[in-house]
């Protein structure tokens, strides 16, 4: 079995794959200040609850965009005698060719997204990942990692609006009934949610044109479920795309 650890800015996802499916999946809050002992206790409790031990694993892999935690998790795995992990980065064996200015700047999550999307479509593709930031990753038909556009995440945009104004509240994000809001909550939802749809559609159109006019578009990340029904620009939605990309990269190393 494979243990994949996806360390994001907001959450850490732990997934155990048995060769056929993701058998177990756990989430924890990302707290860079936590010590290895704390994360080690958490990982032991996850495994103990389902009757797993490190000996049940053949491989581990870490995708991290939080440098402060990368080494801590390597320490956790070593202390508990897990297999030494593969670290996802631009030097990891993937089917991708990097044509960006500095491949070392490319985040591990973006590499995993691109690997999974290209494996799925086998053609030019755009991956829109709705996370703490919303990223638009472009991959050419020749499996070239062309580059990325980065926008503030939807939750971040909403919180900045509320924090920067005296009379606008924090609200739960949802699609409004109409673009013209008739109350404060719906007005905010229109501007933030529907406005964000416009941002997504505009960037996708520009990136597709730069790729030559043809590209599959896939959405991932938790908030993809909110945005996807409001637009026709996505060919597919897969909230677990990053985890699947991490698994595919692990398979190439096994």
Give catalytic residues, as residue numbers: 109
Give the DSSP H or E segment for 17.
Answer: strand 11-17
88 neighbors 246 (Cβ within 8 angstroms):
yes
- 193 in helix, strand or coil? helix
Instruction: Taking each helix axis as running N to C, give the angle between helix 108-121 and helix 241-253, from 0 to 180 degrees, rounded to the nearest 10.
Output: 90
Q: Report how far apart, in Å, the C-alpha atoms of 179 and of each of 162, 183, 223 are.
A: 19, 12, 20
Q: What is the largest CA-CA distance in the chain?
A: 59
Residue with tokens 């795995």: 77
74 neighbors 62 (Cβ within 8 angstroms):
yes
Q: How many CA atoms lie within 13 A of 98 on its CB side?
A: 18
- 125 in helix, strand or coil? strand
Three-point CA angle 116, 142, 209, nearest 5°: 90
Residues whose CB falls within 8 Å of the CB of residue 151, separated by 6 or more in sequence, listed in order: 133, 134, 135, 136, 199, 203
Residue 83 DSSP symbol: P
């Amino acid at each position: 079995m494979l243990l994949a650890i996806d360390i994001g800015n907001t959450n850490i996802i732990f997934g155990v794959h048995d060769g056929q499916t993701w058998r177990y999946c756990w989430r924890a809050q990302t707290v860079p200040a936590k010590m290895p002992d704390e994360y080690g206790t958490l990982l032991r409790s996850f495994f103990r609850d389902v009757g797993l031990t490190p000996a049940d694993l053949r491989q581990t892999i870490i995708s991290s965009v939080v440098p402060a935690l990368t080494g801590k998790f390597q320490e956790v795995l070593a202390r508990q005698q897990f297999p030494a992990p593969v670290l996802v980065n631009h030097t990891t064996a993937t089917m991708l060719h990097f044509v960006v200015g500095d491949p070392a700047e490319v985040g591990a999550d973006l590499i995993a997204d691109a690997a999974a999307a290209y494996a799925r479509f086998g053609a030019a593709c755009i991956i829109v990942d709705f996370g703490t930031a919303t990223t638009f990753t472009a991959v050419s038909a020749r499996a070239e990692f062309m580059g990325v556009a980065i926008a503030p995440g939807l939750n971040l945009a909403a919180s900045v609006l509320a924090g920067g104004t005296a009379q606008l509240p924090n609200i739960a994000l949802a699609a409004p009934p109409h673009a013209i809001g008739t109350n404060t909550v719906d007005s905010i939802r229109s501007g933030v949610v529907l406005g964000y749809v416009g941002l997504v559609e505009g960037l996708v159109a520009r990136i597709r044109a730069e790729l030559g006019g043809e590209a599959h578009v896939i959405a991932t990340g938790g908030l993809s479920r909110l945005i996807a029904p409001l637009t026709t620009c996505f060919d597919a939605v897969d909230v677990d795309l990053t985890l699947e990309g991490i698994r595919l990269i692990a398979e190439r190393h096994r």
